[in-house]
Amino acid sequence: MIEPLIAIFKIVVFPGLAFITLLGLVYEWIDRKAVARFQNRIGPLYAGPRGFLQPLADFLKLMAKEDIVPTWADKLLFNAVPLFAVTIPTLASLYIPITGYPVLPPFEGDLVLVVALTTFFTITAFIAGLASTNRFSTIGAERAALQLLGFEIPMFISVASAAMAAGSLSITVIAERQFLPFALLQPLGFAVYLIALQAELERVPFDIPEAESEIVAGWLTEFSGKKLAFLRLSADIRLVLGAALATAIFLGGGSGPVLPPIVWFLIKSIAIVIVSAMLRALFARLRIDQMVRGAWKYLLPLSMLQLLMTKILLLVVV
Amino acid sequence: MPTYKLPIGPQHPAIKEAFHFTFELDGEVVVDVKPRLGNVHRGIEKGMELRSWNQGTFLVERICGICNTPHTTCYALTVEELYGVEAPPRAQYIRTIINELNRIHSHLLWIGILGMELGFWSYFMYVWRDRERVMDVVEMITGNRVTTSAIIIGGVAYDIPPHMEGTIRRAMDFLEERTKFYKQVLENEPTIRARTENVGVLNKSRARDLCAVGPVARASDLKTDVRFDEPYCSYGEVPFNLITYPYCDVYARALVRADETLESIEIVRQCLDKMPSGPIKLRLPRAPPPGEAVNRVEAPRGELMHYCKSDGKEKPYRFKARTPTLANIPALCEMLKGYYIADIPAIIASIDPCYCCTERLLFVDINTGKKWVWTYDELKRYSLKWNEKNGGRRR
């Protein structure tokens, strides 16, 4: 009787849905505060201690706002997009061993599932842009799809070289088999992953699909009220997912001395969030053609090189 | 591939003021652009005719928020020409200083805006933080940060007493150091260069044909600057360099503005060194004698022109302003063609547009392409006739 209850508690509360949502809001706060410090600003300040509750306040405020559906929008797709946008990254993050063991039982190949789900998200963004029938949204959707062509393959290859080194396609196993974090053994792959992560999260210098000064808000333009709140939440959860995946695959997951795995996991993933915030503060936005060209010219060869080096290393050592 | 139209403005994050562009696009490439003015027409030229000459100083200042000082300077110079007098030398120096402080703040503002248009928010935040220093100096001298009301007909309203000199010099040293740093960032930051180099190219002959003015012309290697060509105030007495760059792109426009900021800092220092003593304003009769006068001033955005006609009464008979943004719009449309949507904000920003200065009543017949401007009387006659014909009702 008690076992199913514990399983449900795990999925719904800790370390499942509620925890991941909470983590998303906390990471957004950390990200905003960090970027503000890099830009010599103060950042959120009023809601809660040091503005800690600002992301939650923003979310609740948006939930209370008027929800507008454009007359010419494809209603079904338009309404479905925010749900998919939150569900997909949340589902993916259930496979990441945040407490040392994932919420859903791991299996050989869950890494492939998780990276495939991240691609699905971009397709959701593309559908969102097309369903809004707004010219800015359409351009944003087109850019999101083009950007996917740029960052997806290098990201997968950098993840694949880690999987090859660990000899497994399960995130949990990869995290466990790192006697030394892969970030040190595979610095190139780690760097490629971090850069591609900026593109996946649509953050500067790759915030091209949402480029504010060019196309208003890109594929998000027509969303308002509850839908926008959910899309913002989705961005937070994707930040958690990206940071957590990097922690599990390149930083050895929750392994570390003295402290319990979850604390180590959070420390490491917060470090990834801060690095991502720093990248966000350091650059100007690239143009879509520059982004795709740069990805194919530099990111892809670098990730291939990493794969090759890993293979040679394995042949030599084993 | 068929083209489609993308409306940008009157409300759009890239454009801080109400202005409308219709872009014709082929995929992500701009094929054609049609600008449309008229969203913020305020009737200032008519308003000038309803106010006395002195009150006009304060209305003319409000044509543009950012480059308000060149407007008052130009108006004061024009009216002084009608009177046939010149402001005292000390007033001329103070005018020069306030104009250059205005240029520093306007150019730094623009450099920050460039960062923002490129999505480089950190650059924007840092530049605008340091720009506060020059605003503080302006506030110390005139009591206001932006709309200073410092320049009046026959002189200036505020003196620069000796005890302010140290503060101004310290602020100039600080700004010089920071501007040099920001110029370095412009030159060395790869993402900024990738987004601005070879973008919005306007070559020298096209710039001359389309009558580009100010930093846009100077970035296309045209040596044009009213401060040089026809020195007013005390520009003839303080040597400075005319900045030109041969690259003709957005990057060159950014460099021109960064270098001009450094030159302005140098001009302020020289003016403080050479400042003569004496009165700062003249007492003038209430109305200038009948006549007309036209004057040019180099505003931060380019050549600014004011025209005044007096019939000897207390109010101007006619006032007309030609602002630099209006002069740069044809050049802007030329620059935009053939570039990506992503380049639009940077290119539009590169002329440092100020639309509220620019608004005019201009009619364009779409079918024939004929353009004409109506006087108020003609417009009134037309509207009466139209009302008669249509029974006073809109269709």
Percentage of chain B modeled with pLDDT above 70:
88
Closest CA to B222 of B251, B199, B253: B253
B159 and B214 belong to one structural domain: yes
- Say yes or no: B144 and B226 in one domain: yes
| B344 part of contact set with chain A, CB < 8 Å | yes
- Whether B4 is covered by a domain: the verdict is no
Of B285, B312, B331, the one marking the end of a domain is B331
For β-strands B151-152 and B29-36, DSSP reports them as unpaired
Whether the upstream peptide bond of residue B88 has omega within 30° of 0, thus cis, is no
On whether residue B24 sits in a domain, the answer given is: no
**pLDDT at residue B365, as a whole number:** 46
Alpha helices in chain A (DSSP H): 2-12, 17-38, 54-63, 75-93, 110-132, 135-166, 171-176, 182-185, 187-200, 212-215, 225-250, 261-282, 288-294, 300-317
Instruction: Report yes or no on B28 lying in a domain.
Output: no
H-type helices in chain B, by residue range?
A: 44-49, 53-60, 68-83, 89-117, 121-142, 165-188, 190-196, 204-209, 214-219, 226-229, 250-274, 324-336, 344-350, 355-358, 376-390
Which tokens sit at B337? 């063609």
| B318 alpha carbon, distance to own chain's centre | 22
List B372's β-bridge partners, or say none: B363
Q: Is residue B16 part of a domain?
A: no
Secondary structure class of B15 (helix, strand, coil): strand
Residues B230 and B368 in one domain: no
Residues B146 and B268 in one domain: yes
Question: What is the per-residue DSSP string for B61-113?
Answer: GGG-STTHHHHHHHHHHHHHHHHT----HHHHHHHHHHHHHHHHHHHHHHHHH
Quick check: is B352 in a domain? no
B133: Cα separation from own chain's centroid = 21
Same domain, B370 and B320: no
Residues A109-162 pLDDT 10s: 888 899 888 888 888 888 888 888 888 888 888 888 888 888 888 988 998 888
Winning range, highest mean pLDDT, from A17-21, A203-207, A283-287: A17-21
How confident is the model over A222-243, as pLDDT tens digits? 888 889 999 999 999 999 999 9
Q: What is the pLDDT of residues B184-241, one digit of tens each?
A: 998 888 888 888 888 888 888 888 888 888 888 888 888 888 888 888 888 888 888 8
Report the pLDDT averaged over residues A236-262: 86
CA atoms within 13 A on the CB side of B214: 28
DSSP B157: S
Nearby residues of B110 by Cβ (< 8 Å), 6 or more positions away: B257, B300, B349, B352
Q: Give yes or no: residues B170 and B284 share one domain.
A: yes
The total of structural domains in chain B comes to 2
pLDDT in tens, B79-135: 998 888 888 989 999 999 999 999 999 999 888 888 888 878 888 899 999 998 999
For residues B278 and B368, state if they share a domain: no
Alpha-carbon distances of B79 from A105, B171, B303, B310, rounded to whole Å: 84, 33, 18, 9
| A208 in contact with chain B, both atoms CB, cutoff 8 A | yes
Of chain A, the percentage scoring pLDDT greater than 70 comes to 100
Widest CA span of chain A, in angstroms? 63
- Which residues face B65 on adjacent strands? none
What's the CA gap between B268 and A126, in Å, rounded? Answer: 54
Residue with the two structure tokens 């005390």 = B234
Q: Name the packing angle between helices A54-63 and A17-38 (round to 10°).
A: 110
Q: What does residue B36 show for φ and ψ, rounded to 5 degrees?
A: -135, 120
Nearest Cα residue to A82 out of A240, A220, A244: A220
Alpha-carbon gap: B121 to the closest alpha carbon of chain A (Å) = 7
- Which two three-digit tokens encode residue A211? 């480029």
| Averaged confidence pLDDT in chain A | 86
Which residues have CB under 8 Å from B275's CB, separation 6+? B90, B93, B94, B160
Nearest C-alpha neighbor of A62 from the set A233, A228, A235, A238: A228
In a domain, B196, yes or no: yes
Task: Indicate the pairing of strand B371-372 with strand B4-8.
Answer: unpaired
My answer on whether B150 and B279 are in the same domain is: yes
HSE value, Cβ hemisphere, 13 Å, CA-based, for B177: 7
Per the domain annotation, does B138 fall within a domain? yes
pLDDT for the residue numbered B202: 86
Domain of B187, CATH number, reads: 1.10.645.10
- CB-based burial, B27-49: b 16+ in 10 Å, e otherwise: ebbbeebebebeeeeeebbeebe
Residues from chain B that touch A142, judged by Cβ atoms under 8 A, are 28
| Domain span holding position B378 | 363-395
- Residue B357 is predicted with a pLDDT of 59
Interface contact A284-B344, CB threshold 8 A: no
- The answer for B 147-166 residues in CB contact with A (under 8 A) is none
In chain B, the N- to C-terminal Cα span, in Å, equals 38
* Distances from the Cα of B343 to the Cα of A186, A297, B202, angstroms: 37, 22, 14
Which amino acid type is present at position A76?
L
Residue B59 sits in the same domain as residue B118: yes
Distance CA(B36)–CA(B389), nearest Å, equals 28
Is residue B305 in some structural domain?
yes
Q: Give how far B16 is from chain A: nearest CA, Å.
A: 10
Query: What pLDDT is recorded for position B383?
Result: 64
Cis amide prior to A15 (ω within 30 degrees): yes
Judgement on whether residues B176 and B276 belong to the same structural domain of the protein: yes
Among the candidates B277, B310, B331, a domain finishes at B331
CB of B6 within 8 Å of a chain A CB? The answer is yes
CA-nearest of A122, A138, A135 to A235 is A122
pLDDT at B364: 47
Say whether both B219 and B131 belong to one domain.
yes
State the Cα–Cα distance between residues A306 and A313, nearest whole angstrom: 10
Structure tokens at B23: 């872009």
Residue A214 sits at the chain B interface (C-beta within 8 Å): yes
**Closest CA of chain B from A282, distance in Å:** 7
Residue A65 pLDDT greater than 80, yes or no? yes
Question: pLDDT-based confidence at B1, cuts 50/70/90?
Answer: low
Residue A283 Cα distances to A193, A279, B123, B223, angstroms: 18, 7, 9, 33
Which residue in chain B has the smallest CA separation from A38? Answer: B122
- Please answer whether residues A219 and A135 qualify as being in contact, where contact means their C-beta atoms are separated by less than 8 angstroms: no
Residues 6+ apart with CB under 8 A from B327: B211, B212, B213, B302, B303
Q: pTM for the whole thing?
A: 0.81
Whether residue A40 and residue B120 make contact (CB cut-off 8 A), yes or no, is no
Residues of B in contact with A213 (CB under 8 A): 13-14, 116-119, 345
What would the pLDDT profile of B136-178 be if each residue is shown by its tens digit?
A: 999 999 888 888 888 988 889 888 888 888 899 999 999 999 9
Q: What angle do CA A239, A240, A245 make, to 5 degrees?
A: 100
